[in-house]
């Protein structure tokens, strides 16, 4: 799933694909050791909605906003898998302080946890440029 820059460019996915993306991201957030607060910020949902998604992801109504967030998170994960060969970095990089521009000593997780879709985009963009040797 390529990340979209706005909700008008999202791929047309059936409910089964949307729910598969949600399940994959929920698993990823656990592997990133996200707190409940981080999960709600990354997904742009409230606590009760998060709990519903975690207990019954197949019943979730996946809006275009949530789909865009899922897309960025999955693409961030794919970029990390391309950049790093070891599990520790693939899942730990988001917690490591980063001194490159944009992060200025904060971790990618701190940047992504603002709750803004634009933050997910910026983290993806920086990882994608690193993947292309531009960082």
pLDDT band, residue 5 (cuts 50/70/90): very low
| CA–CA distance, 38 with 41 (Å, rounded to integer) | 5
- pLDDT of amino acid 69: 97
Total domain count, the chain: 1
Find the helix or strand (DSSP H, E) in which 87 lies: helix 87-92
Ramachandran assignment for 90, one of left (phi > 0), alpha (psi -120 to 50 degrees), beta (any other): alpha
How many residues appear in the chain?
135
Q: What is the Cα–Cα distance from 68 to 80, expressed in whole angstroms?
A: 18
Nearest to 28 by CA among 63, 72, 60: 72
Q: What digits encode the pLDDT tens for the residues 58-111?
A: 888 899 999 999 999 999 999 999 999 999 999 999 999 999 888 999 999 999
* Contacts with 114 (C-beta within 8 Å, 6 or more apart), sequence order: 41
Q: Which domain holds residue 105?
A: 13-131
Is 45 domain-assigned? yes
Q: What is the pTM of this model?
A: 0.87
Q: Kindly tell me if the per-residue pLDDT of 135 is higher than 60.
A: no
Kindly tell me if the per-residue pLDDT of 19 is higher than 60: yes
């Amino acid at each position: 799933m390529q990340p979209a820059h706005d909700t008008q460019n999202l791929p047309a996915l059936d409910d089964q694909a949307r729910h598969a993306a949600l399940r994959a991201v929920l698993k990823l957030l656990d592997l990133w050791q996200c707190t409940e607060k981080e999960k709600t910020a990354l997904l742009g949902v409230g606590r009760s909605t998060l709990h519903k998604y975690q207990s019954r992801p197949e019943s979730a109504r996946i809006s275009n906003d949530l789909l865009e967030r899922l897309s960025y998170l999955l693409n961030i994960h794919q970029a990390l898998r391309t950049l790093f060969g070891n599990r520790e970095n693939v899942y730990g990089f988001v917690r490591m302080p980063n001194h490159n521009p944009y992060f200025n000593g904060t971790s990618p997780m701190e940047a992504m946890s603002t709750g803004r879709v634009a933050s997910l985009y910026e983290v993806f963009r920086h990882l994608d440029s690193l993947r292309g040797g531009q960082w």
